[in-house]
Amino acid sequence: MKSDEKLGSTKEQILEAALDLFSVRGFEATSISQIADAVGIRKASLYSHFASKQEILDTLVEVVTKEYDSHSIFGKVKAETPVLPGAENGIDVDALVAQVIGQIRYSLHDPVISKVRKMLMIEQFQNEQLAGIQTKQSYTDITRFFTIIFSRMKEAGLVRDVDPEIMAVHFSTPISVWMNLCDREPDREEEVMALIDKHIKQFYSLYFL
Amino acid sequence: MKSDEKLGSTKEQILEAALDLFSVRGFEATSISQIADAVGIRKASLYSHFASKQEILDTLVEVVTKEYDSHSIFGKVKAETPVLPGAENGIDVDALVAQVIGQIRYSLHDPVISKVRKMLMIEQFQNEQLAGIQTKQSYTDITRFFTIIFSRMKEAGLVRDVDPEIMAVHFSTPISVWMNLCDREPDREEEVMALIDKHIKQFYSLYFL
DNA sequence: GTCTATAGACGGATAGAC
DNA sequence: GTCTATCCGTCTATAGAC
């Protein structure tokens, strides 16, 4: 292992630097020079790896979308997905809280996931493709995932007789809003985690039988 | 009334055009020329009204903040604010739904409010001042407002014995997420309104005695 | 207050040496 | 694959005529 440079080919370093900048400044407000500076090469050298600035974004979107499609559980849930493992005999709320908070902390601190989330947020009103991805990843897939889970739980007689989609929204949207708050003000993470704990426990006491 | 131009001084037209563009493209990605074109003057003429592009944003922020501070009910709620008028004898859910949906439709379609909301969303990771305003307007003030209302209702014995802050979050965050969805995909407004109706009714049945 | 013209920096992108 | 040099367009901002 060489110690002079971190890791990854120049092409990968360019993609990383681009995501760094796009996730804070946005695509248009980021220049090729800024990306090149971050990588440590001249801006002309960048064109040996990508034909244009647009191609950097396109590649980034492609990589990130594939990664999401192959690894996110939210995008892959099917109607035949069973109830959460171990939930058949009721829910251990503290274990659920710990699991959810673990996932959220991972998602908040993963250098790629967190930056993609920010980039989508910034570009959502300008770039139709990114708008579609944001809706899917931050709303549609998550809502569908929990709707299916809560439907199963309702059928199993674990939860009250309510609309599972609204129940899914009641579970996920506070977390969504709080994660956005953490992306904006990282210092408030612990405050948010305490709120998530309260939220899940209150959600449980309202919905579960 | 002259029919050749809409209304407002050139300075006001510049601010309007700037907000139009900042709310879609962002501050940095918007050029002085684009603003000038939208107003119908040369870019140099713009400097008769503002000393710099930054001053346009600063003025916009000042105007918009003052407007919010003087007109938004969310920012002005005090601990002594009484329960919602007429709520002492219980809530008319259909009336509540109609009132909330009316407010949301107004907020979604008001040309200034909706564009400010988008601009804050776009600039939140780059501009600390705008980040602070976004947290206040889209989270802190709204949460505090409903926390106080639900606290009063809890004291009045109208709602279950729960944490009023979490209750406020359960009420407001779905609406927040759905409004963002409408900002991104305006065609989904009616779908969202139907969900809001379901949400408020389910929220009521869960929380109210 | 608006215009034309221009300064000077920086944008994306290309050519060609090494 | 990276470099220097360069092209040409656009950027913010200013000067000065009208």
Are both B180 and B79 inside the same structural domain? yes
Which residue is listed with tokens 């801006």?
A43
Shortest Cα–Cα distance, A165 to chain B (Å): 9
Q: Which residues contact A139 (CB under 8 A, 6 or more apart)?
A: A176, B177, B181
Residue B108 to residue B111: CA distance in whole angstroms: 8
Q: Are both B46 and B143 inside the same structural domain? A: no
Q: Which chain B residue is nearest to residue A130, measuring alpha carbons?
A: B184
CA of B209 to C1' of C13 (A): 67
Answer yes or no: do B135 and A195 touch at CB < 8 A.
no
Mark whether B56 and B76 lie in a shared domain.
no
- Give the pLDDT confidence score for residue B88 in this predicted structure: 65
Are residues B165 and B142 part of one domain?
yes
Do A27 and A83 belong together in one domain?
A: no
pLDDT > 70: what percent of chain B? Answer: 93
Query: How much is the pLDDT for A1?
Result: 39
- What's the rounded mean pLDDT across residues A116-140? 98
CA distance A53 to chain B (A): 15
Q: Are residues A97 and A15 in the same domain?
A: no
CA-based end-to-end distance of chain B: 56
For residues B50 and B14, the answer to whether their CB atoms sit within 8 Å is yes
Same domain, B163 and B90: yes
Residues of A in contact with B23 (CB under 8 A): 125
What tens digit of pLDDT does each residue of B103-119 get? 999 999 999 999 999 99
B208: DSSP letter: B
What pLDDT, on a 0 to 100 scale, did the predictor assign at position A119?
98
Q: Considering CB atoms only, which of B23, B163, B177 is closest to A202? A: B163
Average pLDDT over residues A174-187: 98
Query: Tokens 């959600």 correspond to what residue?
Result: A203
Residue of B nearest to A184 (CA): B125
Q: Is A124 in contact with B125 (Cβ distance < 8 A)?
A: no
Q: What is the pLDDT of residue A6?
A: 55
Q: pLDDT tens across B134-188, in order?
A: 999 999 999 999 999 999 999 999 999 999 999 999 999 999 999 999 999 999 9
- Provide the pLDDT confidence category of residue B87 given band limits of 50, 70 and 90: low
**What is the CATH classification number for the domain harbouring B14?**
1.10.10.60
Number of domains within chain B: 2
Residue A114 lies in a domain: yes
CB contact under 8 A, A28 and B29: yes
**pLDDT interval class at A4 (50, 70, 90):** very low
With a CB cutoff of 8 Å and minimum separation 6, the contacts of B79 are B148
Supply the pLDDT for residue A83. 60
Rounded Cα distance, B31 and B101, in Å = 36
Residue B17 has a pLDDT of: 98
Res. B3 pLDDT band, cuts 50 70 90: very low
Q: Decide if A33 is inside a domain.
A: yes
Task: Give the pLDDT score at A185.
Answer: 98
For the CA of A29 and the C1' of D15, the distance in angstroms is 29
Secondary structure class of B79 (helix, strand, coil): coil
Question: Which among A14, A40, A60 is the end of a domain?
Answer: A60
Domain, as residue range, for B150: 72-207
Tell whether B52 and B76 lie within a shared domain. no
For chain A, the average pLDDT equals 93
Asked whether residue A65 is assigned to any structural domain, the reply reads: no
Predicted structure pTM score: 0.96
Q: Let me know if residue A200 belongs to a domain.
A: yes
Considering chain B, what percentage of its residues have pLDDT values greater than 90? 88
Residues B33 and B116 in one domain: no
Q: Determine the Cα–Cα distance for residues A164 and A171; give it in Å rounded to an integer.
A: 10
The verdict on B27 and B84 lying in the same domain is: no
Mean of the pLDDT values across residues A66-73?
95
**Residue A77: per-residue pLDDT:** 81
